[in-house]
Amino acid sequence: MRGMLDRNRDNLKRRIECRNELSEEERQEREAEAELEEQRRLERKKQRKSRWGEKVLASTSAGAPSDTLSNVPTSFANQNKPMLSAITRNDPALLQYARLNYGSTNLSEEDWKKCEEHYKVNLLYQDMMRKRQEIDRLARSGKFKYEYDSDEDVDGGTWEHKLRCAEMEATKLWATALTKQSEGKHHIGDFLPPEELKKFMEQYEAKKSNRQPDLSDYKEYKLKEDNIGFQMLQKLGWKEGQGLGTDGGGIVDPVNKAPQRDGNQGLGVASAATPEDCDNEYDAYRKRMMLAYRFRPNPLNNPRRAYY
């Protein structure tokens, strides 16, 4: 009995020793795996791009709109409206922007995000510059758009004040001439220039006589024999007072130029100072005074607006 107990004890010891030996081997394997994992982690850390490396410095330098204007490709600089939500990484303009500013299109996720942000900022900047050029073009042509006042632009007052100043500068000579020719006059009808009065009376008499008014000014600017065109027509057999054409059956009086419009006018618009068929002498007088009011003196050079 004692011998069996001794054998069992020996077997149990051997099993415990075997287990200890196996656990030691497993421990060594785990330590080896941990060392390998640590080495791999250190290698990845060495290969990882530093936040202060040259790559990021190049990307940060490309982030400012003032530095990247020369690097922005013209393919998206000519777009009408920047669709920022529709930009994808397969966009040719974005790929070209990445090649110009990052040197390659094989970028990490973080660099792609920065590249997209810088690209969108440049799109907005180009759109703003395009709008500014459009406003300048309209200003040169005499057409204006509404704009908002900026805290950065404090010289010259608001944009409305700037437009008024430009308008007053353009009408300065005209206002001076109106004021000078109105010296010593007091009645509103005295301010009407003689040529305007002549046109008004011609329209009024034509309406009363049921005929077309003769408003052409070719008599005052009639071509004479010293004109080259006049001489060419004479060489072709034309004579003064004769109609155009081989048989002389063409027009005799030249075609008058079209009237110039001071502003935008709709279809069928008519001036309140234009005589009508049903006007009597009192209506004609009232409309003549309305026309003369436009030529009143303007010593302060105030911007004039149409009242009727």
What token pair was written down for 247?
Answer: 């048989």
Number of structural domains (the chain) is: 3
Question: Would residue 84 count as lying in a domain?
Answer: yes
Answer whether residue 100 shows pLDDT above 70: yes
279 vs 133, more confident: 279
Are residues 290 and 174 located together in one domain of the fold?
A: yes
Question: Would residue 237 count as lying in a domain?
Answer: no
Question: Would residue 276 count as lying in a domain?
Answer: no
pLDDT at 287: 92
For 191-239, the pLDDT digits (tens) are 888 888 888 998 899 888 888 887 766 666 667 778 888 788 888 888 7
Q: Could you tell me the pLDDT band of residue 117, with boundaries at 50, 70 and 90?
A: confident
Give the end of a domain, one of 122, 140, 158: 140
For 13-36, the pLDDT digits (tens) are 776 666 555 566 677 777 888 888
Give the end of a domain, one of 140, 157, 188: 140
How distant, in Å, are the alpha carbons of 62, 190, 198, 265, 296 from that of 187?
70, 5, 18, 31, 10
Average pLDDT over residues 292-302: 86
Are residues 64 and 129 located together in one domain of the fold?
A: yes
- Per the structure, the complete domain to which residue 168 belongs is given by 146-217+284-308
127 vs 276, more confident: 276
Cite the DSSP H helix spans in the chain.
2-47, 54-61, 65-68, 74-77, 92-102, 109-140, 159-170, 172-181, 194-209, 228-235, 281-293
Question: Would residue 257 count as lying in a domain?
Answer: no
For 61-94, the pLDDT digits (tens) are 444 444 444 444 444 444 455 566 677 777 888 8
Are residues 100 and 122 located together in one domain of the fold?
A: yes
Are residues 297 and 164 located together in one domain of the fold?
A: yes
Residues with Cβ within 8 Å of residue 11, at least 6 apart in sequence: none
Are residues 127 and 151 located together in one domain of the fold?
A: no
pLDDT at 289: 92
Are residues 82 and 202 located together in one domain of the fold?
A: no
Average pLDDT over residues 124-134: 72
Answer whether residue 46 shows pLDDT above 50: yes
Question: Would residue 154 count as lying in a domain?
Answer: yes
Question: Would residue 253 count as lying in a domain?
Answer: no
Give the end of a domain, one of 114, 140, 166: 140
| DSSP codes, 88-142 | -TT-HHHHHHHHHHHS-S---HHHHHHHHHHHHHHHHHHHHHHHHHHHHHHHHTT
Are residues 129 and 187 located together in one domain of the fold?
A: no
Q: Could you tell me the pLDDT band of residue 283, with boundaries at 50, 70 and 90?
A: very high
pLDDT at 166: 77
Average pLDDT over residues 122-143: 72
- Separation between Cα atoms, residue 196 and residue 188, nearest integer Å: 14
